[in-house]
Amino acid sequence: MPWQNIRGHDRVVEKFRRALQKGRLASTFLFVGPAGIGKRAFALKLAQGFLCERVPAERLEPCGECASCHQVLSLNHPDVDVVAKPADKAFIPVELLIGDLEHRMRAGLCYNIALKPYSGRRKVAIIDDADYLNKEGANCLLKTLEEPPPDSVLILIGTSEQRQLPTIRSRCQIVRFAPLAEGDVADLLVEKGLCPDASTVRAAAALAASAHGEGSLERAVWWTDSGVVEFRAELLRILRQAELELQPAAKMISQFVEEAGKESALKRQRLRFVVSLAEEFYRAALVTRESGQTVRDGELKVAVDAALRWMPVEAAVVCLEVCLEAYAHIDANVNQATFIDWWLDELTNAARTGVAVA
């Protein structure tokens, strides 16, 4: 059985359990791994284990029934502070870390974690979306990371070490989370009521598992939507061509993004998803070209094989770099139409010459 109904991460559980039993638990951790694989849920379950009123912390088996366990899960425990990037912001505001101008260093996560534990056990702080810590926010954390308060645990959650500033990485113990297995993704889709159709569940889980190894429930949810599957097929058809169909492609992407609704956060999420599909395509092209490794996803394989008839490896590298750069523009709330035109132009020029236009 998975630990506390959290699938795929039993190895990480044992690592924490051994550290607790030996009295060697670190104070600061950086959880890294694909989005949507349960890192945040794992962090909250750890907090329950640390603070459970019925089960000793070293057993790391929270009862889930005591007042403390309920408070942690509902984010109301006085010894647990959870911070995340607001949907309408490009970065985590420093006010969440050190208080607003009127309450500098007298409010926020850094202040709260330094207080004496109300429970007499530990203070736990969790920074979700740590990928969105800008330089100012990271600097606010340095003192806390360098001199962790007694009986405190600070957990930063991100997707990769590379997205964290060196000053953050060097002060945290890195905990790597593996992608979820295809079977786990399928089971979670059913358990959480995210998809009632068995054949759709299988297909969605397979696509999520094949997406450059992400194994993400978040990713799988996208694939339960037939409209998303159709969009991906058309985007792959466009990307595999030596000459991108710029106007039809821009119109198609814009329409797909607009279908997310009026909220800008949802539109940015869709834009990131579109770019991630292209990123997956160019990564698959590079892997196939360099190692000869076969792409599991049949539809993606067809597109990659067609592209590799004309695309040099240098062009695939630059197209991938364009995609990675594009995420930063999306997070900075760039104008949607301008971004789509820029991105497609960059991919076109990179595919032609292997050099992106500045």
Model pTM? 0.88
One domain, residues 185 and 238: no
Q: Which domain holds residue 216?
A: 181-224
What CA–CA distance (Å, rounded) separates 58 from 136?
36
Which among 185, 171, 254 has a CA at the least distance from the CA of 221? 185
Q: Which of 114, 148, 176 is the last residue of a domain?
A: 176
pLDDT tier, 286 (very low <50, low <70, confident <90, very high otherwise): very high
User: Does the residue 1 lie in any domain?
Assistant: no
Is there a single domain that holds both residue 220 and residue 323? Answer: no
Contact assessment for residue 39 and residue 157, using Cβ atoms and an 8 Å cutoff: yes
**What is the edge-to-edge ordering of all strands in the sheet holding 28-32?**
80-83, 123-127, 152-158, 28-32, 173-176
| Residue 358 within a domain | no
Q: What is the pLDDT of residue 242?
A: 87
Q: Is residue 301 part of a domain?
A: yes
In a shared domain, residues 165 and 191: no
Q: Are residues 25 and 169 in the same domain?
A: yes
Last residue of a domain, one of 167, 195, 224: 224
- Tallying the residues shown for the chain, one arrives at 358
* 161 lies in the same domain as 188: no
Q: Dihedrals φ, ψ of 347, to 5°?
A: -65, -40
pLDDT digits (tens, 9 = 90+) for 67-122: 999 999 999 999 999 999 998 888 999 999 999 999 999 999 999 999 999 988 99
Cβ neighbours of residue 32 closer than 8 Å, sequence gap 6 or more: 158, 159, 160, 161, 174, 175, 176, 177
Distance (Å, whole) CA 320 – CA 342: 15
Q: Give the pLDDT of residue 157.
A: 98
Domain match, 100 and 73 both = yes
Question: Distance between CA 295 and CA 287 in Å, rounded?
Answer: 9
> Pick from 141, 176, 211: which residue ends a domain?
176
Q: Are 324 and 274 within one domain?
A: yes
One domain, residues 249 and 117: no
Distance CA 22, CA 59 (A): 12
In a domain, 4, yes or no: no
**Is residue 258 assigned to a domain?**
yes
The one-character DSSP state at 196 is -
Number of domains in the chain: 3
Residue 5 lies in a domain: no
What CA–CA distance (Å, rounded) separates 288 from 113? 48
Q: Is residue 3 part of a domain?
A: no
> What is the average per-residue pLDDT within 34-40?
94
